[in-house]
Copies of this chain bind each other. A is one copy, B any other.
Amino acid sequence: MSKLRIISAADVKQLFTLPMAIEAVERAYVQKYTGEGGVWPLVFHEFDPGHADLDIKSGNLDAEGIFGLKMVSWFGGNPDKGLPALYGTSLICDLATGQPKALLNAGPVTDLRTGAAGAIGAKYLARPDSRVLTVVGCGQLAPYLIAATMLVLPAIEKVILTNPHNSESARKRNLIIQGKVDELLRAAGANRFYRVEVEADTEQAVRQADVILTATPSRAPLIRRQWVKPGTHISCVGADMSGKQEIDEQILAAGRVFGDDTAQCFSVGECETAHRQGLLNEITEIGAVIAGASQGRASDEEITVFDSTGIALQDLASAATILKKAEQQNIGTVVEL
């Protein structure tokens, strides 16, 4: 018998804010770089290819004293039944004894930690005076990316929304996204003035940008090399499986490229095509930049790219933060297991 803390979706929403997610994901990247964080083999299963699949990501974070797993299932037909397509559940254990400590609804964690990831790329690689943020893709992740980036780049004053696949969607989603951005900023205790523009023409949206965040399921480049002005930073968070690509591989060949996990960036990330074509043989892990061991941006003219493929340690570090706060505030349900 042992005690287990159950932390529901509502608990996570109450406990976990974007600044906490940014701090947790930075810790995860640093521990990935130092080797204190270990990622174990991925389990991926397709129940019905294209309609239902599942993955189990697991690993250890030595500095947090935990190990654990996150199981995420996606059943595309669920919304027709009034159910969410995604379910995410994390089980966290004590690294000293193996004892299970907490079970979390990881659904709300994923958006926050992925938004944080894109913003961390901008925090360490964009010009600090960046004023215009362009977001390519107007889905679920857009508000998390926008709010997190505004928290790390204080000079951002204009956000441009664009959706190359469906230019109407940016217009339709605009108010929903802004409402969510404001909610996230409020939860973070931030008070920011900014204006949002919707731009149907992706080229125009890109040409104005100091910082670009891409979060689409695209399988072909959406952004051409010649549209990107000198000094731009681009964080790509859409590519997380082989065949996905959001930006012209010539941008990666011309710019300086950073990633969360080199092997994963080359096999399933935005870097995949450029690497296969021999245009990109080496990238710098962002954890090395955060730890101060590698240089980030070297000049105001250089184009920088951050390839965020998503690693289990982001979830583990986020869960560690949530669990610590839940214990301090006695939030969640403690059950006998």
A73 lies within 8 A of chain B by Cβ: yes
**Inter-subunit contact B47/A73 (CB<8 Å):** no
How far is the CB of A275 from the nearest CB of chain B, in Å?
Answer: 25
How far is the CB of A96 from the nearest CB of chain B, in Å?
Answer: 8
Chain B residues contacting A58 (CB-CB under 8 Å) are 43, 45, 56
C-alpha spacing A241/B174, complex, angstroms: 57
A60 lies within 8 A of chain B by Cβ: yes
A52-103, CB < 8 A from B: 52, 54, 56, 58, 60, 67, 69, 71, 73-75, 78, 81, 83, 86-87, 89, 91, 93, 95-100, 103
Q: In this complex, what residue of B is CB-closest to A62?
A: B47
C-alpha spacing A84/B174, complex, angstroms: 54
A105 lies within 8 A of chain B by Cβ: yes
How far is the CB of A15 from the nearest CB of chain B, in Å?
Answer: 15
How far is the CB of A187 from the nearest CB of chain B, in Å?
Answer: 19
C-alpha spacing A333/B4, complex, angstroms: 12
**Inter-subunit contact A98/B8 (CB<8 Å):** no
**Inter-subunit contact B71/A69 (CB<8 Å):** yes
Q: In this complex, what residue of B is CB-closest to A85?
A: B98
**Inter-subunit contact A43/B67 (CB<8 Å):** no
How far is the CB of A168 from the nearest CB of chain B, in Å?
Answer: 31
C-alpha spacing A74/B2, complex, angstroms: 15
Chain B residues contacting A60 (CB-CB under 8 Å) are 45, 47
A278 lies within 8 A of chain B by Cβ: no
Chain B residues contacting A6 (CB-CB under 8 Å) are 4, 6, 335, 337
Chain A: how many interface residues by the 8 Å CB criterion?
44
**Inter-subunit contact A91/B91 (CB<8 Å):** yes
A336 lies within 8 A of chain B by Cβ: yes
**Inter-subunit contact B78/A91 (CB<8 Å):** no
A9 lies within 8 A of chain B by Cβ: yes
**Inter-subunit contact B98/A73 (CB<8 Å):** yes
C-alpha spacing A41/B54, complex, angstroms: 13
**Inter-subunit contact B99/A83 (CB<8 Å):** yes
Copies in the complex: 2
Main secondary structure of the interface of A (DSSP, over half): strand
A176 lies within 8 A of chain B by Cβ: no
A1-60, CB < 8 A from B: 1-2, 4, 6, 8-10, 38, 40-41, 43, 45, 47, 52, 54, 56, 58, 60
**Inter-subunit contact B335/A8 (CB<8 Å):** yes
- Point out the residue from B43, B87, B96, B337 that lies within 8 Å of A9, measured CB to CB: B337
A174-200, CB < 8 A from B: none
**Inter-subunit contact B43/A336 (CB<8 Å):** no
Contact A52/B98 with A1-B8, A71-B69, A91-B89 known, Cβ cut-off 8 Å: yes
**Inter-subunit contact B91/A71 (CB<8 Å):** yes
**Inter-subunit contact A97/B69 (CB<8 Å):** no
**Inter-subunit contact B56/A69 (CB<8 Å):** yes
C-alpha spacing A1/B82, complex, angstroms: 12
**Inter-subunit contact B10/A105 (CB<8 Å):** no
- Point out the residue from B43, B86, B89, B97 that lies within 8 Å of A40, measured CB to CB: B43
- Point out the residue from B54, B98, B335 that lies within 8 Å of A67, measured CB to CB: B54
* 10 residue pairs from A and B, CB less than 8 Å apart: A6-B337, A45-B60, A47-B67, A47-B95, A56-B69, A75-B98, A78-B97, A83-B97, A87-B98, A335-B335
